[in-house]
Amino acid sequence: HYQSKLQGIDFNAEEGKAQLEHMEKDILEQMINSEIVEKETKDFDLSVSKVEINDEYSKIVKANGGEEKVEEILRDYYKWSVKEFKEKIKLYLLTQKLQEKVASDDAINQKQKEKVEDVLAQLEKGKDFKKLAGKYSEDQTNAANGGYLGLISKGQKDDSALDEAVFSLKKGKISGVVKIKNGYAIFKLDSIKGKKRAARYILIKYKDFTEWMDEQKNEAKIYRYIAQ
């Protein structure tokens, strides 16, 4: 991949030197990220099986014109063998699992959990749901509208925890704290219309994965040395 980028660059020119330095930093950052992912997935006892890797590889092959075409792209553009590419797939899958772990771990998301619990306490004291949604909800697409989700049917949001919370509520009632795909949520049911529900929610998003990764780098005291 980087070999193809290096072609045609004049490293004696200032622009070429700047491009080379940028690529060196990019490569180093990728290496650091890989080390952090491998360390943290080991600490969390997360792993990826050969079956998972091969399944993902098969999806890529199917989406890109067959195995021969994929091998050609890997060889000619990235200078990778299939074995090397599968190592990249393994890292990708491990990163996905780590992202899911960071999102689901209450200890990692302690501040976020405390924030949503504080909002729930205010609601239980009788504070207005719409006003609190406008003030606290981190879903900017509907916070200004009092957290209105619209008229939804089961499966529409592709989140089983959201469905369970919304469709178990009675009209006018408020849920407790619910862990959904992208954060901690509190729901309120406005009305029932046949099989659909008109609902509102207040969302406090899980910790940003990039921010969490940066914290791990800082804790690991990783230093970046680039040759001058």
Same domain, 51 and 100: yes
Query: Are residues 61 and 122 located together in one domain of the fold?
Result: no
Are residues 88 and 158 both part of a single domain? no
pLDDT value of residue 54: 96
DSSP state of 144: G
**What pLDDT was estimated at residue 126?**
97
Same-domain check for residues 99 and 115: no
pLDDT at 7: 39
* 99 and 137 assigned to the same domain: no
Amino acid at residue number 187 = F
Residue-number span of the structural domain to which 115 is assigned: 110-206
Residue 8 has pLDDT above 80, yes or no: no
Do residue 14 and residue 61 come from a single domain? yes
Region 7-35: mean pLDDT is 60
Is the model's pLDDT at 223 over the cut of 60? no
Looking at the structure, tell me whether residues 94 and 169 fall in a common domain.
no
Question: How far is residue 201's CA from residue 152's CA, in Å, rounded to a whole number?
Answer: 13
Alpha-carbon gap, residue 196 to 174, rounded angstroms: 17
* Spatial distance between the Cα atoms of 116 and 187, rounded to a whole number of angstroms: 12
Mean pLDDT over 41-45 rounds to 94
pLDDT at residue 227, rounded to an integer: 43
Same domain assignment for residues 149 and 73: no
The SS3 of residue 176 is coil
Q: How far apart are CA 220 and CA 153, in angstroms?
A: 46
The pLDDT tens digits of the residues spanning 76-131 come to 888 889 999 999 999 999 999 999 999 989 999 999 999 999 999 999 999 999 99
pLDDT above 90: residue 140: yes
Structure-token pair, residue 63: 């989406």
What CATH number does the domain containing 124 carry? Answer: 3.10.50.40
> 98 with 114, same domain?
no
The CA distance from 189 to 201, in Å, is 9
- How far, in Å, CA of 79 to CA of 73, rounded? 8
Give the count of domains, the chain. 2
- What is the mean pLDDT of the segment spanning 149-159? 95
Within a domain: residue 177? Answer: yes
* Boundary (domain end) residue, out of 104, 132, 154: 104
Mean pLDDT of 146-165: 96
> Between 132 and 6, whose confidence is greater?
132
pLDDT above 70: residue 53: yes
Measured distance CA(96)–CA(119) in Å, rounded: 30
Residue 3 has a pLDDT of 40
Q: Flag whether pLDDT at 228 surpasses 50.
A: no
- Helix (H) / strand (E) containing 212: helix 209-220
- 183 in a domain, yes or no? yes
Q: Does 98 share its domain with 157?
A: no
Mean pLDDT value of segment 153-174: 96
Q: Are residues 81 and 124 in the same domain?
A: no
Within a domain: residue 218?
Answer: no
Quick one: tokens of 184?
């901690």
pLDDT for 78 equals 83
Average pLDDT (153-160) is 95
Domain boundary among 88, 104, 120: 104
What CATH number corresponds to the domain at position 41?
1.10.4030
Q: Is the pLDDT confidence value at 5 over 50?
A: no
**Where does the pLDDT of residue 25 fall: very low under 50, low under 70, confident under 90, or very high at 90 and above?**
low
For residues 189-211, average pLDDT: 96
Residue 150 lies in a domain: yes
Helix/strand/coil (H, E, C) string of 67-109? HHHHHHHHHHHHCCCHHHHHHHHHHHHHHHHHHHHHHHCCCCC
pLDDT tens profile 172-198: 999 999 999 999 999 999 999 999 999
Among residues 104, 125, 158, the one where a domain terminates is: 104
